[in-house]
A and B are shown apart, each in its own frame.
Chain A
C-alpha cells in the first residue's frame, strides 16, 4: 500500500 501526500507538505504557503 502507498499513501498520497498533499502538495502543501513540500512547498511553503506564501
Chain B
C-alpha cells in the first residue's frame, strides 16, 4: 500500500508542468525516502530527475517499494482538475494497476476522486555520479527563462562563458548575434534576486536552446535556478522545491564539428 498527502496540489501541478513537454511516459519510484522519477526525453539528448522527499509530505506511507508507470499527459490532465489550494492524496495498492488522486478543498466541503490507469513501463535508468563542477551559477529563475527565450530569437544554441564575477550567454544566427552579460550581485536584500557565480576554473560550453527552453517550464517551482557546468560533461539545471525536493535537468553540451 502506498499513500501520501500534500497540503497543496499546486506544487505537484507545477511539477507536472515542468515535465510534460519533455517526457511522455515515466515511472514514479515510490520508496520510504519518497517519490522519485528519472527519464530521458524521447531523443535521448537530455535527462530529467525529480525527487520529492518523504519529509515534505503531510503523511507518507509506503509498505513496499513500487513503480508507478504513468502517461504524463494523462496525469497532468487529472492534476489540472485540482485547485491549487486543494490538498492532494495519491494512493495505490502494492500490485494494483490504478493510481487514485484525491483532491480535497481547504474547507473540506468538496472531495474529488480520480483513478488513473497505470502502465507497465520499462524505462532505462542512467547512473549519474556525484561530482564537483567547475562552475555553479545561481540566478533568478525568471531571468534565466527570459535569457533562453530571448536568445532563441537569434540562434539555436547558447554559448555559456563563465568567468570570475559573471556569465556571458551568447548566440549567433543568420539574422545576427546576441550577448547577454550577467554580473554577480554585490549586495542583495532579497535572496531570490541574487546572482552568485562560483568558479573553480572558467568554462565555455555550448548548449541547445530548444532543451533549455523545455527546462525553464520548471520556473514556477522556484525563484532561483542553479546551473552546474564542467568541461565535457552534461550541464545540470536544478530547481529546488522548497521543503520537498528538486527537479534537475541534464543536457549534454554541443561539440564543435
Which A positions have Cβ atoms within 8 angstroms of B? Answer: 1-14
Contact = CB atoms under 8 A, between A and B. Distances in A.
Contacts of B45: 4-7
Given A2-B206, A7-B251, 18 more contacts: A2-B254, A2-B255, A2-B257, A4-B45, A5-B45, A6-B44, A6-B45, A7-B45, A7-B47, A7-B234, A8-B44, A10-B250, A11-B126, A13-B125, A13-B127, A14-B124, A14-B125, A14-B127
A12 B124 CA distance: 10
A13 to B, nearest CB: 5
A7 B250 CA distance: 8
A8 to B, nearest CB: 6
A1 to B, nearest CB: 4
Given A2-B157, A2-B206, A7 B257 contact: no
B256 interface: yes
Nearest to B126: A11
Contact of A2 (B124, B125, B256): B256
Contact of B252 (A1, A10, A12, A14): A10
The 4 lowest CB-CB distance pairs between A and B, nearest first, are: A2-B254, A11-B126, A1-B257, A6-B44
Interface string B18-55: 00000000000000000000001001111100000000
Contacts of A4: 45, 208, 252, 254
A14 to B, nearest CB: 5
